[in-house]
Amino acid sequence: MKRENNFGIVRLIAAWFVFAGHLGLILGGTAPRFGGFSLHELGVFTLFLISGYLITMSWLSDPHPLRFAIRRFFRLWPPLAVMVLLVVFVAGPLLSDLGVKGYFESWYTVYLRNLRFFPVFALPGVFMDVPIPNTVNGSLWTMPVEAALYVITPVLLTVLRVKHGSKISFRIMTAFTVLVCGINVALITVGVQNRVVVYGVNLFQAYQVVVFYVIGIFFTYEEVRKYLNIQLACVAMCVLLAFQSASGTVQYILLYVIFPYFIFSFVFTPEPVFKNVGKKVEPSYGIYLYGFFFQQLVIYLQQQYGISLGYTRTFLISALFTLAAAVVSYYMVEKPMLQVSRFLIKKVKRENMESR
């Protein structure tokens, strides 16, 4: 993988897309749209697309189950855990309509299920009268999907015999990617919007993002990346925009073909202008974790004081709090956990060498 790329800026933009899309809904309206899709959808799709690529490259570069698990766990869980604990034991009692005593006598511990990636959105008496009530953090629904994909990825790559430089492997992965996309297009065409929920997650909703994760795996092959061209990708995006009012079937087919091609063409464009974004501070995960909560908080405070700031000012104020929390999360949680991860991986490698 090219060391100089635009992954950092793409992650950051995707996180803010999720933020911007959610705010439209949280204000009681509709989310801003682009190419027929809401911004928060495109943001989540992009994050899973990138994740599919990077997680696959991580496994292929070091296919050791324990070291892989260490990397993934310390990247995903500690920042989530800190956010959940802060919300439950600090924000919850301060914001609850039940008061501090009533809050702690209620069912607040249910929210701690998020620590085991079981999405719970409500806290007792918190955000009861906002446009999206009883929802402290709607972004958490993707956490079990992401965690499950971390577990599934090594198995999937082994079963599909994903191996770069192998024509057979590329053909198998191509067929699998087309199948995964085709199933979702078929479901959308026949209007299937099932409400089958497993471990707190709507399976149909989860499958939407899994498709992009698989496409991300597909783009790890040089046979695909050699055709990337940012100029061609920009023209293709114009086609996607032109058909934004087409049927859902056509929209999703174009989305699967054009959108990932554009994202990776931008990521791997020659002489990337934004190559240093995210090198010193990488706040995208923190923005994703804290954005929804601070948006709800700002709207809640507006209601308490009888004011209405509108979309733009609400965006800016909640974005300021979110960015501050994301930066603190990076320096106080994510970066230290990265160092712990590296230490443990080195220890595992050393022990493996000594045991030989």
Domain annotation covers residue 311: yes
Domain annotation covers residue 81: no
Domain annotation covers residue 128: no
Alpha-carbon gap, residue 323 to 325, rounded angstroms = 5
Q: What pTM value is reported for the model?
A: 0.96
Domain annotation covers residue 79: no
Domain annotation covers residue 45: yes
Q: Could you give the number of structural domains in the chain? A: 1
Domain annotation covers residue 194: yes
Alpha-carbon gap, residue 325 to 293, rounded angstroms = 11
Q: At 155, which helix (H) or strand (E)?
A: helix 143-159
Alpha-carbon gap, residue 36 to 243, rounded angstroms = 8
Domain annotation covers residue 310: yes
Handedness of CA 282, 283, 284, 286 (dihedral sign): positive
* 54-83 confidence digits (pLDDT tens): 999 999 999 999 999 999 999 999 999 999
Q: Give pLDDT, residue 2.
A: 58
Lowest-confidence pick of 45-49, 136-140, 189-193, 347-351: 189-193
Domain annotation covers residue 132: no
Write out the residue range of the structural domain in which residue 59 sits: 7-73+143-355
* 192-238 confidence digits (pLDDT tens): 767 789 999 999 999 999 999 999 999 999 999 999 999 999 999 99
Other CB atoms within 10 Å distance of the CB of residue 345: 18
Average pLDDT, the chain: 94
Q: Give pLDDT, residue 1.
A: 53
Q: At 197, which helix (H) or strand (E)?
A: strand 197-198
* 155-200 confidence digits (pLDDT tens): 999 988 888 878 899 999 999 999 999 999 998 888 776 778 999 9
